[in-house]
Chains A and B, each alone.
Chain A
């Protein structure tokens, strides 16, 4: 009988695991019905996501907004696709190849994981324009590398955090410990330290790759943020995708301060209840970058090469939608001065953690 119960247990666990994998694999991947009605010669846009996909309240959603805006504005067709769990580069290549073969042009890969696959596929389809977001290591004649200086925007919110903290303790809450998120961390920490040496920065990540749940787990975000608040930290900067929502809940419960990321999270509908604690957001204009890229193709002059979006073109920045923050004229003046210094090269922001 022991054997039976063990196998039953095994199976139950496997089923549970399979189901959780399903659950965290994809959140909400809406349907992509805007597709395939394009006539010949028209621009058809293909957009492919990395794990997480649409509905992550963050990076992927921002890309989608840019894509959606371009489709509506230029009245063109498009299709967006998500990856499957446990896939390798070959699957990404296949996805890109199929889009290119079906005449989609441009084809956009959201996330650095598409860099390698795009490099290979772009060679096979020299007449198709490709773009990859967050990578500038794999270049090509028909590839646009859309990258952002996240560290610059993070530096600015770091300055704000160091100015506003009353306990001289601030926290950086990273989603998944990848080099990309470390850019946010590095900029934030430098911004804090340059403003006030005595302010202590505590860094914590939710998960380690390839476990990407750190970007999609509000419960974990809440837990980690609560832990930080317990230590006396009163400003938290969560760079953690959808997990950030949980962090803001914890922050709101204690009446402390939080800093949004990627989008202007003060204005995000899903965060309506806790928006007052979101003093500002480090904005990363993925939406604009995607839109601009599609526009360049529609205009017949496709972007190629590395296109860095930073403070100078508002590719990154900080938001002033929270009135309590906007009223703090002294702080805004300081931030604007620092911003100018960064643009002018007087302040150099590091993009790697020391």
Chain B
């Protein structure tokens, strides 16, 4: 593993690139079939992003949120856990941390720390329910996390009532947790587009990406996690406590999910309200798959998805339906799976072939050397 295997690298990059190309091709075919120009939408979208600096900022900001969601999903994936509940964990964490943030009388920076820590704890706790169910009762996390999403939705709706944590402005039909004091607004990075700032939380996201890489690839814990994810029984044989790994990784996944709402909460919305975006967790799943749980790959994937979602806006104004981008998203997911599976099988076959050759050679060699002994 130490040596960079050129073939592996090419395979790793080829799969997602092929998948995206394939998805674009299919989308073009759909456009063509409906009697539209098959290339113009892409040109429009790219143009929209290149010409408008404020659109670029939107894309970068959306990437930040998506990246965190993808990290959360990826931590689970590495342990062979499918955390579909990132969306619920993220929303519940955002809502409760916003409520706590408005309630605690602390100076700015400290208040921000409290908000972030609360969000991580809430996310971890909500994911932890699924973790405990899995480790103690053997409940599949796929089922429990998706159900917990629905429960989170109801719980948020309940807590957001004006009689509990929610507030309702006179004349407004929105419910919020109340605006955070200005001292707890995380300053953004100014850009050339007036009034558009890049979320300050992007720094944290980058650090988390590095941390994710380090944790998984350079620590004993990461090794155990990957080992347990690859084969629980093999890991158990080498002394890894499988249950503990499951619980730890799902808690970690939940904590990261909790952070997903932070860029938006601290950098822009400054409150949790009914318009707080849902579905981010699902986008995270797509990105983790697309980026193959690789921190750089996921960053690229997050950027791609953010680009699609933001720039598809321009299609409406140019006589195309913006759902083209959504079709493309769906196609990417399907294509990526097919591509990975194909590449994996191909790689496996090659590996087996090489092992076979190797074996044959050693077999030959051993037979040549010690003819009396029976070779294995």
Binding site for B on A (CB under 8 A): 3-4, 6-15, 17-19, 21-22, 25-26, 29, 31-33, 35-36, 79, 81-82, 84-91, 94-95, 97-98, 112-113, 115, 124, 134-138, 145, 147, 177-180, 183, 207-211, 306
Question: What distance in Å separates the Cβ of B178 from its nearest Cβ neighbour in chain A?
Answer: 13
Residues of A within 8 A of B169 (CB): 137
Instruction: In the A-B complex, list the 4 residue pairs whose CB atoms are closest, starting with the nearest.
Output: A136-B171, A208-B157, A137-B172, A11-B337
B289 adjacent to A22 (CB under 8 Å): no
> Shortest beta-carbon distance, B276 to chain A, in Å?
6
- Distance between B334 CB and nearest chain A CB, rounded to angstroms: 5
Instruction: Judge whether A82 and B91 touch: CB under 8 Å.
Output: no
Q: Which of A9, A26, A179 contacts B323 (CB 8 A)?
A: A26
* A98→B289 CA distance, assembly (Å): 34
| Cα(A83)–Cα(B91), bound, Å | 20
Choose one: A9, A14, A29; the contact of B282 (CB below 8 Å). Answer: A14
* B374 beta carbon closer than 8 Å to chain A: no
**CA A248 to CA B305, docked complex, whole Å:** 39
Contact residues in B for A31 (Cβ distance below 8 Å): 319-321
Given contacts A88-B277, A90-B58, A10 and B173 within 8 Å (CB-CB): no
Distance in angstroms from B120 CB to nearest chain A CB is 21
Tell whether A17 pairs with B285 under 8 Å between CB atoms, given A84-B309, A84-B312, A94-B55: yes
Which chain B positions have C-beta within 8 A of A98?
A: 52
B347 within 8 A of A: no
Docked-complex contact A210 and B174, CB < 8 angstroms: no
- What are 22 residue pairs bridging A and B, where the CB atoms are less than 8 Å apart in the complex? A11-B334, A13-B142, A18-B282, A18-B326, A21-B279, A22-B327, A31-B320, A33-B319, A86-B277, A86-B279, A88-B268, A91-B310, A94-B54, A95-B313, A135-B171, A135-B174, A136-B170, A147-B171, A178-B274, A180-B173, A208-B154, A210-B275
Pick the contact of A210: B61, B84, B276, B319 (CB < 8 A).
B276
- A79:B274 contact, CB within 8 angstroms: no
Contact of B153 (CB < 8 Å), options: A36, A178, A210: A210
User: Chain B residue with minimal CB distance to A183?
Assistant: B173
How far apart sit A154 and B317, CA to CA, in the bound complex (Å)? 37
- In the complex, what distance in Å separates the CA atom of A87 from the CA atom of B329? 16
Q: Are A135 and B317 also in contact (CB < 8 A) when A22-B330, A88-B269 are?
A: no
Contacts of B264 in A (CB 8 A): 88
A58 to chain B, nearest CB (A): 15
Assembled-state Cα–Cα distance A130/B265 (Å): 26
| Interfacial chain A residues near B341, Cβ < 8 Å | 4, 8
**Contact indicator B337/A29 (Cβ below 8 Å):** no
Q: Kindly provide the distance from the CB of A33 to the nearest chain B CB, expressed in whole angstroms.
A: 6
B286 at the binding interface (Cβ < 8 Å): yes
B195 on interface, CB distance cutoff 8 Å:
yes
A3–B323 CB distance below 8 A: no
Give A113's nearest chain B residue, CB to CB: B275
A348 to chain B, nearest CB (A): 17
- B333 surroundings in chain A (CB, below 8 A): 11, 14-15, 18
* Residues in B whose Cβ lies below 8 Å from that of A134: 173
B168 close to A (CB within 8 Å) = yes
